[in-house]
Amino acid sequence: MQYQPANQSPQPQYVNPGQIDTSFNSGLDAMSRCQSVYIKQRPDYLESLGFCEKKNVYYVYQSDTMGNKPDFKHQAPIFKCKEESSCWQRNCLPGACRAFDLKVKQYDQKQDTNTVFRLSREFKCTFLCLARPMMEVQLENGGKIGFIYYPFMCCDKGVEIRDENNQLIYSVKGSCCQWPFLVQLPCEACQRARFDIVDSEGQKVSELWKESAGFCNALCNVDATNFRLMFPQKSTSRQKALLLAAALFIDFNYFEESPQDQNQNSM
């Protein structure tokens, strides 16, 4: 059965907090009950003033079936994702090359919680089809969930999602002929990009959208990338964790710039 999106580019609408299921236990149980999530990167306004690149922080919210923006004032995140990386790599290397660890923790505003799973990527000096980056996704106890692979693509943008046995599960692909890949404009429509989620048989099963961070944030070049991720039907909690990891991996590969990159683009 072919995937049929209800709306190719839905207008932002807020979700009633009463319609969101927040009765989670722990760990990946939070993923198993989500039909979609909204990923919001914490903006850092000092970076836009030319200060050093800081560690990325993302908040993951449960959303409706289309992944629309939730009401942040009345709904708490289910996960907090924080980057761990060296200062020199963040400021001297492009996002597609630098090494990092991303710890995904259940959100608790008052105390630090246990890590549910973590994303680890080693430094790779990538050139065309050589030394392509790969990110490992594993539980806190060391058990492997899978891998996110960044293949060489001449035109399209995307990643491959593989299970713990390195078998292909999904491919996430987007056309390079979309505004965020061509020119940086502050209008919200020009900040959106669509990635199709395709299964191992080449059938489209869902979508990932790179969303606008807001006109003012884009105008001031604030690093704040948001995503809408709709999970495929019958996907397991492990597969949803890998899809979440793929969205974050795409942000680092295509939308993350070091201060040196920003200076070169502005010249």
Evaluate if residue 97 carries a pLDDT over 60.
yes
Q: CA–CA separation, 103 vs 116, rounded Å?
A: 8
Evaluate if residue 8 carries a pLDDT over 60.
no
**Average pLDDT of 89-93?**
85
Q: For the chain, how many residues are written?
A: 267
Contacts of 229 (CB under 8 A, 6+ apart): 36, 37, 38, 39, 67, 208, 209, 243, 244, 247
pTM score, whole prediction = 0.87
Q: How many CA atoms lie within 13 A of 51 on its CB side?
A: 10
Evaluate if residue 45 carries a pLDDT over 90.
no
pLDDT cut 70: percent of the chain above it: 83
Q: Contact, 78 vs 28, CB < 8 A?
A: no
Q: Contact, 59 vs 80, CB < 8 A?
A: yes
Question: What local confidence, expressed as pLDDT, does residue 231 receive?
Answer: 97
Q: Contact, 202 vs 215, CB < 8 A?
A: no
Question: What local confidence, expressed as pLDDT, does residue 210 receive?
Answer: 94
Banded model confidence at residue 28, pLDDT cuts 50, 70, 90: confident
Question: What local confidence, expressed as pLDDT, does residue 192 receive?
Answer: 93
Higher-confidence position of 22 and 155: 155
The tens digit of pLDDT for each residue in 214-265 reads: 777 777 767 788 999 999 999 999 999 999 999 999 999 998 865 445 544 4
Determine how β-strand 144-149 pairs with β-strand 36-41: unpaired
Using only C-alpha atoms, the chain has a radius of gyration, in whole angstroms, of 17
Evaluate if residue 25 carries a pLDDT over 60.
no
**Average pLDDT of 24-35?**
75
Q: CA–CA separation, 158 vs 181, rounded Å?
A: 12
Which tokens go with 177? 């002929």
Question: What local confidence, expressed as pLDDT, does residue 16 receive?
Answer: 43
Higher-confidence position of 115 and 109: 115
Evaluate if residue 12 carries a pLDDT over 50.
no
Burial tier of 120 (Cβ tally within 10 Å: 0-12, 13-18, 19+): middle
The tens digit of pLDDT for each residue in 112-166 reads: 778 899 999 999 888 888 889 899 999 988 899 999 999 998 889 999 999 999 9
Q: CA–CA separation, 86 vs 126, rounded Å?
A: 19
Calculate ∠ Cα 205-67-61, nearest 5°. Answer: 125
